[in-house]
Structure 1
Amino acid sequence: MNKAIVAGLAAGVLVVGLIFSPLFTGFPLSTAQAQGTGNTKHFTLIADEMELQVAPSNPLHPGGIMYKAMVFNGTIPGPVISVHQGDTVEITLRNEGNVIHSLDFHAGIGPSKALSGNVAAGESKTWTFDAVNAGAFLYHCGADGLNGVWEHIANGMYGGVVIHPHNEKPAKEFYVSFGEIYNSADKGPFVGTNGTVGSFDLVKLWNDSPDLILTNGMAHKYVPEIGAASKIPLNPDAEVFMVKPGELTRWYIVNPGPNDYVAFHFIAGQMDVRDGSIKNRYGTQLKNDETWTIPPGSATVIEAVFPEEGVYVGVDHNMSHVLKGGAFAVVADDASTDNDHPEGTYVMSMEETMMEH
């Protein structure tokens, strides 16, 4: 079942205190699905507010775009949390910002596990949840008991949880998050902000009119240029994703929204989708596709083999989203190594999570 259909079925369900629930299975979740490993993994997320660059200087955004963001650990997205199925996950949320923040883990089951509750400025809170179901899941700030959650997500307070299944094959793995910016100072393409640092615009969010689509915190972060006969420079400092022709790659694609779907596609490639735990079995469902719908508030595990040398491009196939920044370049080259991930995209493997205590 396509995730868009699952999302539609789930749209009418309201769980008190948890509006955005995990959409990785059409079945009730059961704590009996995963055999416990006996391991507890510890993670600290630091909430803060700061100015970040969210678009490079290019013809679409003259001078670049600076924005008053909200962050976990100083970046958009927050760090990926990678564990093994059956682990216990211990989370500490420390609020170094000036406003109330909180956490909603879509990998958790039950309000005491999924939700931190409010953490005031200068305070911290620690709690645990069990990594029951394998897959990729969103975490995000819940603001003040959901009051303003739309703003905190749109401002960059989100990240991904990876729960490796017991029988996962080794692969080169990458963490990529899309995200929307609704900027009060952005006057549109070819104008930008004229150097003004922007902030959240509720009217633009209300009208579902994002100015930018970020990939790991910046529009066109991983796209140097487009065009062949007529080139448009987009990011002279762009890193690209390097892979070897024929090797198995695994992509954890996160869509925090807060509003729009991601129609994920590899230009010149196809993919296998491992989405949702199969009840009473370990591992994940496997489907072949060329474009896969990821609803806002969700994440997907995608595997792909790039068979020949050359440039492939991961995109949100909504063309306005591509123009606004939702794309990244993948270069298949025999010179690629196991350690040439762009900064912040490396995911701890199943074997590494098993060895870490």
Structure 2
Amino acid sequence: VHIANGMYGMILVEPPGGYPTVSHEYYVMQGELYTAGKYHAPGLQAFDMEKGIDERPTYVVFDGAEGSLVGDKALTAKTGDTIRIFFGNAGPNLDANFHIIGTIFDRVYPEGGTVGPGARPDHARAGRRGNGRGAHPAGAWDVPRLL
């Protein structure tokens, strides 16, 4: 219930020496809100357990708010810029398929490039090449890079 009420965030621990320099660096979190009120109902909204159990969010939000990355709040870059995006999916239920229309990622570092049991260390350090999107289960995050 805590995550479904917006109690989540992203913590970044940089590697020793930091990351290579890029033109733009963005941090984006996806989350879900399951409100008792209908979509756009005014006022403070209680958590709706039935919607949560049924995985029917009233809102799927980025950075905690509806419309947070559109219009004058859109993430911007120019042709030739390098971009690093730290993307997380707080969930608690839905998968995310983060992508950018019209481009592919130069590199994607699943789970931030951490190396777990059975992972190939060279894969984690170098990142997957040429991905257009990545599937992110609730609680997962990636670091896509665009050139």
Deviations 1:280-337 (A, max 9, x none): 77x72411211111110111111012xxxxxxxxxxxxxxxxxxxxxxxxxxxxxxxx
**Structure 1 residue 164: deviation in Å?**
2.1
* Structure 1, unaligned runs of 5 or more: 1-150, 225-237, 306-357
Residue of structure 2 aligned with 1:261, choices 73, 82, 95: 95
- Would you say 1:210 and 2:57 are equivalent positions? yes
Residue of structure 2 aligned with 1:295, choices 129, 137, 140: 137
- Would you say 1:273 and 2:108 are equivalent positions? yes
Output the CA distance in 2 between the equivalents of 1:285 and 1:296. Answer: 24
Q: Equivalent residue for 1:286? A: 127
3-state SS in 1 of match to 2:25? strand
- Considering Cα pairs closer than 8 Å and 6+ residues apart, tell me whether 1 or 2 has the greater RCO: 2
Q: So what's the TM-score if we normalise by structure 2?
A: 0.83
Aligned length: 136
From the CA coordinates, give the structure whose radius of gyration is larger: 1
- C-alpha RMSD over aligned residues: 1.9
User: After TM superposition, where is structure 1 displaced by more than 6 Å over at least 4 residues in a row?
Assistant: none
1:24-103 → structure 2 map (5 Å cutoff): none
- Would you say 1:243 and 2:77 are equivalent positions? yes
Output the CA distance in 1 between the equivalents of 2:35 and 2:144. Answer: 31
CA distance 1:241–1:206, change in 2 (3 Å) = same
**Structure 1 residue 211: deviation in Å?**
0.8
Output the CA distance in 1 between the equivalents of 2:75 and 2:133. Answer: 19
Q: Equivalent residue for 2:11? A: 161
Q: Equivalent residue for 2:69? A: 222
1:70-219 → structure 2 map (5 Å cutoff): 151-166=1-16, 168-171=19-22, 172-186=24-38, 188=39, 192-193=40-41, 195-219=42-66
Identity of aligned residues (%): 26
3-state SS in 2 of match to 1:203? helix
Output the CA distance in 2 between the equivalents of 1:262 and 1:154. Answer: 15
Output the CA distance in 2 between the equivalents of 1:242 and 1:180. Answer: 24
Q: Equivalent residue for 1:304? A: 146
3-state SS in 2 of match to 1:205? helix
CA distance 1:280–1:266, change in 2 (3 Å) = closer
Q: Equivalent residue for 1:326? A: none
* Structure 2, unaligned runs of 5 or more: none
Output the CA distance in 2 between the equivalents of 1:162 and 1:265. Answer: 21
**Structure 1 residue 197: deviation in Å?**
2.2
Deviations 1:20-73 (A, max 9, x none): xxxxxxxxxxxxxxxxxxxxxxxxxxxxxxxxxxxxxxxxxxxxxxxxxxxxxx
**Structure 1 residue 166: deviation in Å?**
3.9
CA distance 1:299–1:205, change in 2 (3 Å) = same
3-state SS in 2 of match to 1:163? coil
Q: Check whether the contact 1:277–1:285 (CA below 8 A) recurs between aligned residues.
A: no
**Structure 1 residue 163: deviation in Å?**
2.2
Deviations 1:127-153 (A, max 9, x none): xxxxxxxxxxxxxxxxxxxxxxxx100
Output the CA distance in 2 between the equivalents of 1:159 and 1:284. Answer: 24
**Structure 1 residue 259: deviation in Å?**
0.3
3-state SS in 1 of match to 2:12? strand
Deviations 1:190-243 (A, max 9, x none): xx31x232121111000000011111111111223xxxxxxxxxxxxx412222
